[in-house]
Amino acid sequence: MKTKNIKQVVTFKSTPIKVYELIMDEKKHGELSGSKAKVSKKPNGKFEVFDGYCHGYNIELKEGKMIKQAWHFAEDGWPDDHYSICTFEFAKVPGGTKMTFTQKGVPEHKVESLKEGWKEYYWAPMKDILEK
């Protein structure tokens, strides 16, 4: 299977720790996604979001600085045993936090839909929550 990578940079008017917590705190992630979220805050701990549409496990966590996780998406043509590696890096910048997001190992036929999906289902709602 051919894979590609996604890279997106987003700036939030909030602190790095608040952006980090929005992803890693079950209750806050649930508010973000509008569905129940199970998120472990431990290395190798598992997560499940969007009612099981996405699941995976933590690889490395540095509170307020970086999240590295293996993600599986319940998508047509996404192999059951395949995980992409998502890294969220947070840097304090004037006026907020710059988040650099990379997703490695995305099945080639899913790259465009996932690029838009991250913007629509994560970055836009995160801005709404963090900047209100």
**pLDDT value of residue 91:** 98
The mean pLDDT value of the chain amounts to 96
Question: pLDDT tens-digit profile of 71-114?
Answer: 999 998 999 999 999 999 999 999 999 999 999 999 999 999 99
Find all residues with CB under 8 Å of 33, minimum gap 6, and list them: 49, 50, 121, 125
Q: Which of helix, strand or coil describes residue 57?
A: strand
Find all residues with CB under 8 Å of 131, minimum gap 6, and list them: 12, 13, 14
> Is residue 88 a contact partner of residue 101, using CB atoms and an 8 Å limit?
yes
Beta-bridged to residue 48, according to DSSP, are 38, 55
Model confidence at 132, pLDDT cuts 50, 70, 90, reads confident
Map out the domains of the chain with their CATH numbers.
3-130 (3.30.530.20)
